Amino acid sequence: MKRAIAALLQGTEEEKESAAAELMNVGQSAVPGLQTVLEAGDTDARWWAARALAEIPGAEARQSLLATLADPDEDVRVCAILALGERHEEAAVGSLLALMADGSDYQRRHVGDALSKIGEPAVAGLIKALEDPSPAVRANAARALVRIESQQAIHALIKALDDPEPTVEHYAWEALQRMGVGTMVFFKP
């Protein structure tokens, strides 16, 4: 295992990939070594450590991924974001919603994808995000709700049909259509 950790820190790209796969197979006992790599200055090594942690079950790996959401490098954060989504980590919802409100469009899109994979536990926060001042946050929240198809979001999605941002309106309409919620339009004569 020490050789694999050293390869993450100093190896070529191929060696890092191989070391990450080896550490994934080691499982939970690899987490302390991967945490050490996450504290390293090498961005590429931190990315591979987060990638390995994505495949390791357990609370210790989850905590490391949650801590990685604060990494200074956006690509390392996105790796952790995607991992938490794939793992359906309910404990990550609050942190992910905070990153949606405070990040680049690239990061926001991945946060929305992760929250949509987490599903129903993310719905309340996504509904609240539909009222965010940022059009990008509202659009990504609506986009995530399309995939979740939560009955809990129907009222908020109907309200979002009047959003001044066309993308929000589009995703709200798509979500409602996927859930089979018909809408009637009344015109005043």
Per-residue pLDDT of the chain (189 residues; tens, 9 = 90+): 889 999 999 999 999 999 999 999 999 999 999 999 999 889 999 999 999 999 999 999 999 999 999 999 999 999 999 999 999 999 999 999 999 998 899 999 999 999 999 999 999 999 999 999 999 999 999 999 999 999 999 999 999 999 999 999 999 999 999 998 865 544 445
For residue 186, what pLDDT is reported?
44
Q: pTM for the full model?
A: 0.90
Q: For helices 74-86 and 93-101, what crossing angle results, to 10°?
A: 140
Architecture, CATH, for domain 88-181: Alpha Horseshoe (1.25)
Residue (of 188, 104, 115, 103) closest to 150 by Cα position? 115
Which CB contacts under 8 angstroms, 24+ apart, belong to 98-102? 99/69, 100/129, 100/137, 100/140, 100/141, 101/129, 101/132, 101/134, 101/137
Residues of the chain with CATH 1.25.10.10: 88-181
**CATH number assigned to the domain covering 1-67:** 1.25.10
